Amino acid sequence: MKKIFLYIMAATLLLSVSCGNQNQETANPMENPVIETIMARRSIRAYKPEAVEREIMNQIVKCGINAPNAMNAQPWEVRIVDNPEFIEGCTKLFVERMKQDPRRAKMVEDPSFRNMFRNAPTVVFIAINDGRFSSIDCGLMAQNMMLAAKSLGIGSIALGSPVDFFQSEVAAEYYKKLDIPDTHTLALVLGFGYPNESPDAKPRDESKVRWIE
């Protein structure tokens, strides 16, 4: 945890230097590009059909693996998929399974439904080991990737339902293709693509944040 603290302090110092270099008239925190990206990022569920260029996705994932992580253990395994045959193939199996669940059947029967990753054409699978802080490290990595994507004009969404699906017997063929080692378990799936919508922000309950004197 000491290393995590050092990472946070380094990031804070870097941000402070960046803000300090700004003209006094433009020192408003909301004019900081990092803060603007964080506040503008939304979960996207409608994408243009083309996949994100691999050079750009490599940069996004590089931002992910540079996230702070406990003891620099880097407990993750990351797989990127933009192969339409892979996405369409597992989606067909997913649709058949969801039709048997009244709560989720509506999603796959929606006319706008194209694939199980909320229609994202590029998908990132994150698997983690059983380390004590691995799930936290996974979240930090995912957030880095989604914010990097937003800064590049690319939409994203974090998905939970594909995790359960890929760990089921129905999807065994596709899970095997991900080549995730036995020491790791799929923890999170992220969808990426060029957004085809601009959703408004959902309200946040600021009363849950308090200063303790």
pLDDT (0 to 100) of residue 23: 46
Q: Which CATH number fits domain 43-197: 3.40.109.10, 3.40.50.40, 3.40.50.300, 3.40.50.150?
A: 3.40.109.10
CA distances from 7 to 1, 54, 62 (A): 10, 28, 17
pLDDT (0 to 100) of residue 12: 38
Q: What is the 3-state secondary structure (H, E, C) of 95-147?
A: HHHHCCCHHHHHHHHCCCCCCCCCCCCEEEEEEECCCCCHHHHHHHHHHHHHH
pLDDT (0 to 100) of residue 42: 97
pLDDT (0 to 100) of residue 164: 94
pLDDT (0 to 100) of residue 140: 98
What b-and-e string marks burial along 121-143, b requiring 16 or more CB atoms within 10 Å of the CB?
bbbbbbbbbebebbebbbebbbb
pLDDT (0 to 100) of residue 105: 85
Q: Where are the domains of the chain?
A: 1-40, 43-197
**pLDDT tens, residue by residue, 151-164:** 999 999 999 999 99
pLDDT (0 to 100) of residue 104: 80
| Residue ranges of the chain whose pLDDT lies below 50 | 1-24
Q: Which residue has the tokens 């797989």?
A: 79
Cα torsion 108, 112, 114, 120: sign? negative
CA distance 138 to 132: 12
CA distance 65 to 137: 10
**Whether the Cβ atoms of residue 159 and residue 208 lie closer than 8 Å to each other:** no
